[in-house]
Amino acid sequence: MAVATRSRYEMWMWRRIFKRIIIPCVLFLVLLIGLILGLRSCGSDDDEPQQTPYSSETDVNDTDTTDTLPVGGQPTYQDFDFTTYNEDAIVEIDAAYLNSYLVLVNKIFRLSEDFSPQDLVLPEVLSAGGGDNTNHRMRETAARALEDMFNAARVEEGLVLWAVSGYRSFEEQRSKHQYFIDTNGYETAERMSARPGHSEHQTGLVMDVTAASVDALLTEEFSNVPEGVWLRENAHRFGFIIRYPYGRMNLTGIVYEPWHVRYVGIEAATYIFENNIVLEQYIFPVPRGEQS
């Protein structure tokens, strides 16, 4: 009887140990293993690069001097045809990039009809038309850089640069483009004048520049006079580029304009100048080995 009682007691103890100790321990180990595997899975996902359709540096605020379009899987300029207006390919520029000094405006990337910079000011420079012409307005940082550039040309080389045309609204560009069509024909106008929304002048980062040596005209001859030569060789020091350089219409879609300077910031302007590329190739990088 005592043996049977002892046996039942031992069985009862083992069942108690199994229920209260072994089973909870097994369940705890299962949960712990599951948690570890879950954390490893999340960490693996976080390590994968995030693919965005267009990429660059992410900061696109007013002090930005980095690419305007967001780096992984970024296309190159060869993936686009910037030389023609293809209605199926035109993209309206996202509001997040409008304040970047590197906002790309061309025959593919378009500004909205109601876009106008909020920090337009009148640079204190000489006007080709005389007096304070309101169409010389630029975004403030670009305006101050233009003043520095004009002053440097005068101090360093005794050259006098004149401002012709800065900010232009969507409607003003519409009128200008129509004027070119009426006077030069449609095909010529498409090469010489941007359609409304596709003009860099609407960004407030552009100034057309001339001099007395070319009778205050916007002409290719400007590239051969001392003022134009100095501008071409020194604009990058102040954050400007010759936006439509000679022989690059196949990339920009616009004929040579030695008078059209565009503010992009000193870092970007210096890189573009030293590598002899255009803005499209800076935003959508040149494939390795193709920079001239």
59 lies in some domain: no
Confidence of residue 44 (pLDDT cuts 50, 70, 90): very low
The verdict on 131 and 251 lying in the same domain is: yes
Which has the minimum average pLDDT: 20-29, 118-127, 263-272?
Answer: 20-29
Task: Write the pLDDT tens digit of every residue in 60-92.
Answer: 344 444 444 433 456 677 778 787 888 778 889
Question: Within this chain, do residues 19 and 93 fall inside the same structural domain, yes or no?
Answer: no
The pLDDT value recorded for residue 61 is 41
Structure tokens at 180: 């070119």
Q: Are 186 and 85 in contact (CB under 8 A)?
A: no
The last residue of one of the domains, among 48, 69, 85, is 48
29, part of any domain: yes
Binned at pLDDT 50, 70 and 90, residue 235 comes out as very high
What are the distances in angstroms from CA 178 to CA 17, 92, 198, 206? 92, 21, 14, 20
CA distance linking residue 262 with residue 279, whole number of Å:
10
Closest CA to 91 of 120, 101, 79: 79
Backbone angles phi, psi at 261, to 5 degrees: -110, 140
**119 and 175 share one domain:** yes
Rounded Cα distance between 205 and 263, Å, is 5
Whether 137 and 206 share a structural domain: yes
In a domain, 33, yes or no: yes
In this structure, the answer to whether residues 187 and 266 fall within a common structural domain is yes
140 flagged as catalytic: no
Q: Above pLDDT 90, what percent of the chain?
A: 50
Do 173 and 44 fall into the same domain? no
228 & 99 share domain: yes
Please tell me the total count of domains within the chain: 2
Check 190, 200, 227, 257 and give the catalytic one: 257
The CATH number of the domain where 177 resides is what? 3.30.1380.10
Per the CB < 8 A criterion, the answer to whether 104 and 68 are in contact is yes
In a domain, 66, yes or no: no
| Tokens 């097994």 -> residue | 26
Residues 152-183 have pLDDT tens digits of: 999 999 999 999 999 999 898 888 888 888 88
C-beta pairs of 138-142 under 8 Å, 24+ apart in sequence: 138/166, 138/167, 138/204, 138/205, 138/206, 138/207, 138/263, 139/203, 139/204, 139/205, 139/263, 141/62, 141/101, 141/263, 142/101, 142/204, 142/205, 142/207, 142/239, 142/263
Contacts of 219 (CB under 8 A, 6+ apart): 259
Q: Is residue 71 part of a domain?
A: no
**What domain range is 24 assigned to?**
1-48
240 and 122 in one domain? yes
Claim to verify: residue 120 and residue 233 sit in the same structural domain = yes
Instruction: Give yes or no for residue 248 having a pLDDT over 60.
Output: yes
Q: Same domain for 98 and 217?
A: yes
- The answer to whether residue 63 is domain-embedded is no
Q: What is the pTM of this model?
A: 0.73
Q: Are residues 23 and 163 in the same domain?
A: no
124 with 34, same domain: the answer is no
d(CA 262, CA 236): 10
| pLDDT confidence bin for 18, thresholds 50/70/90 | low
